[in-house]
Amino acid sequence: MISFDDYIIINDNAVAEISASGIKYNDSQGEHFILFKECAANYKLENPMSSGRCVGERWAQDNPPNIVFYTAPLTTHIYFPKGNKLHEFFSELSSYKRFYNMQKAILSYGYTTYDCS
């Protein structure tokens, strides 16, 4: 069962790897995994009409954009913080590009996220 009362927050710079099984990230407490298969099962429990391939929700219009994965017992929110305006304008990896790159990677492994924007 998933609790929506609290959640895990990480920035996208903590992501070490995205693979067919999920996302590996590091924080001060060590290495962690977001497993797509488990997230899809949890999402399906909360949203029975789901395809069974949806791993969470994406919020492109939030500031900063973020993706919420249905990890249990707490959801995991990956935020894509913006740099300063000059950096965002000239950067090849603006917060939105990093956000959409992660979404594309998730899609490439046969999973999706629900657009809440």
Q: Please give the tally of structural domains in the chain.
A: 1
H or E element in which residue 17 lies = strand 15-18
Let me know if residue 117 belongs to a domain.
no
pTM above 0.85, yes or no: yes
Let me know if residue 38 belongs to a domain.
yes
Burial 16-48 (b: 16+ CB within 10 A, else e): eebeeebbebeeeeeebebebebbbebbbeeee
User: What does the pLDDT read at residue 4?
Assistant: 85
Let me know if residue 35 belongs to a domain.
yes
Answer whether residue 88 shows pLDDT above 60. Answer: no
Spell out the residues 6+ positions from residue 60 whose beta carbon is closer than 8 angstroms to its own: 96, 99, 100, 115, 117
Let me know if residue 116 belongs to a domain.
no
Give the domain extent around 53: 3-111
Tell me if 113 sits within 8 A of 55, measured CB to CB: yes
Let me know if residue 33 belongs to a domain.
yes
pLDDT tens track for 7-40? 999 999 999 999 999 999 999 999 999 999 999 9
What is the pLDDT confidence band of residue 65, given thresholds at 50, 70 and 90? very high
Degrees to nearest 5, angle at CA 21 with 18 and 22: 45
